[in-house]
Amino acid sequence: MCAKIEYIDELVNHLLAIDSPEGLQEALHALLTEGELADVAKRLQIIELLQQGVPQRQIAEKLGVGIATVTRGSHHLKRRGDLPK
């Protein structure tokens, strides 16, 4: 991650300490609005579809997001070397 997000370590440690899927869902709902949670879930789907080799435009259409959002995920995976050839 390029920019250091203040308190990110606390957030990560808090989420890692949760021991059940139900507890994690409860924590996410407490921390995020419904819209933020939906956006995070879509971004995870973007990453997973990119890793499967689905074209960016197809992902954007399928998930109802802008191509820039998909490209952002693609750039992240390219930096990590996690995109299929």
Q: Where are the domains of the chain?
A: 33-85
Amino acid at 4: K
The predicted structure's pLDDT at residue 3: 53
Question: Using CA atoms in the order 13, 15, 21, 27, what is the torsion angle rounded to 10 degrees?
Answer: 150
Is-above-0.85 flag for pTM?
no
CA distance 1 to 9: 13
User: CATH class for domain 33-85?
Assistant: mainly alpha
Segments in the chain below pLDDT 50: 1-2
The predicted structure's pLDDT at residue 79: 86
Close Cβ partners of 75 (under 8 Å, ≥ 6 residues apart):
none
